[in-house]
Structure 1
């Protein structure tokens, strides 16, 4: 398993200090999409619009592996 951190970006960075153990980059991407959708759902219930945010997914060394724009998380998969 590999530890991945999901840093939330908008006007600053909300760092994920704990990270999540995930076995593959594909599962990391799926987790990022689920997280973005959950955060947007919560924001909608509060009357907030956060689709301009993005998640940066990093490895344990802090290297950015993937970037997910929240807006891309609401598009249907091909």
Structure 2
């Protein structure tokens, strides 16, 4: 099973995932990134902060960028 690494890009920093997560494929990794972004944004909203500008870079074990997921992809704006 491949290992995926989820690095978080803020406006000024990269928070590196040093451990990674074993998942079946890139689709599962994207789903995990969306779930993680939702969790982080939920916490931030309760604290009065907006993290929607952040991104998650999904990389493989050798560091190749496979997919970039914007936090804004984790929700649908409503009214």
Given the two structures, how large is their TM-score scaled by the length of structure 2? 0.91
Specify the SS of the correspondent of 1:4. strand
* Deviation by residue 1:48-73 (Cα, 9 ceiling, x = unmatched): 10100000000000000000010111
- C-alpha deviation, 1:37, in angstroms: 0.5
Q: CA RMSD in A?
A: 1.1
Question: Is there any run of 5+ residues in structure 1 with no aligned partner, and where?
Answer: none
Query: Runs ≥4 in structure 1, deviation > 4 angstroms?
Result: none
Cα distance in 1 for residues equivalent to 2:76 and 2:69: 12
* Deviation by residue 1:13-69 (Cα, 9 ceiling, x = unmatched): 000111100011111111111011111011111111010000000000000000001
Given the two structures, how large is their TM-score scaled by the length of structure 1? 0.92
Question: Is there any run of 5+ residues in structure 2 with no aligned partner, and where?
Answer: none
May I ask how many residue pairs the two structures share in their alignment? 76
